[in-house]
């Protein structure tokens, strides 16, 4: 099996992992941030994403959320076959004033934006805090206060979607 096929298989497994128990899938990764490079999920991953959206959540449809990318003005998620999937909710980012951060990609497929960091040296107090894995924090709570990008915005949307599903 060649690398591309094995990667496609691994993605398919991840996108449909425990669809009997998983309502929301959030992906804070995507194709390389490089202008004018088209990349899409492989055949198996595409089928898995479609299957989850149609049969997940007990037949009501699973929800897949993807970060739009952090390639900034040099890239656009219009070239991203994951972000452009009709079965995926694509999430961009806005800073604390509602502005588009420099890293955020313009994209017609962006369905929603969520708050994230500003990506500026003088406004680091507005970064996102999250749990972190550090070798020096085995006995204490580990936190990172410098997280951001669309990789931070997408999980926030996932949390909001979870709250909406809980209410309904």
| Residues 57-73: tens digit of each pLDDT | 999 999 999 999 998 88
β pairing state of 63-67 and 143-147: unpaired
pTM of the model: 0.87
Distances (CA, A) of 97 to 31, 93, 145: 28, 11, 19
Which helix or strand (DSSP H or E) is residue 157 part of?
A: helix 150-167
Give CA–CA dist 55/19, Å, rounded: 8
Domain boundaries, the chain: 3-116+148-167
Mean pLDDT along residues 35-54: 90
Give CA–CA dist 118/12, Å, rounded: 33
How high is the pLDDT of residue 47? 97
Q: Domain 3-116+148-167's class?
A: alpha beta
The mean of the pLDDT values for the chain is 86
How high is the pLDDT of residue 46? 96
Give CA–CA dist 153/38, Å, rounded: 23
| Residues 111-153: tens digit of each pLDDT | 999 999 887 656 666 778 777 766 666 555 677 777 889 999 9
């Amino acid at each position: 099996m060649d690398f591309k096929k094995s990667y496609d298989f691994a993605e398919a497994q991840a996108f449909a992992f425990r669809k009997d128990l998983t309502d929301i899938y959030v992906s804070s990764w995507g194709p390389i941030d490089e202008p004018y490079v088209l990349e899409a999920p492989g055949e198996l991953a595409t089928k898995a994403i479609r299957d989850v959206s149609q049969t997940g959540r007990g037949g009501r449809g699973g929800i897949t959320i993807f970060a739009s990318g952090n390639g900034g003005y040099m890239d656009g998620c219009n070239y991203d076959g994951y972000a452009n999937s009709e079965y995926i909710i694509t999430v961009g980012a806005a800073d604390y004033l509602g502005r588009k951060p420099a890293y955020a990609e313009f994209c017609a497929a962006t369905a929603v934006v969520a708050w994230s960091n500003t990506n500026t040296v003088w406004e680091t107090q507005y970064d996102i805090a999250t749990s972190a894995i550090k070798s020096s924090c085995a006995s204490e709570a580990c936190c990172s206060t410098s997280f951001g990008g669309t990789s931070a915005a997408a999980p926030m949307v996932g949390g909001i979607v979870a709250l909406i599903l809980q209410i309904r």
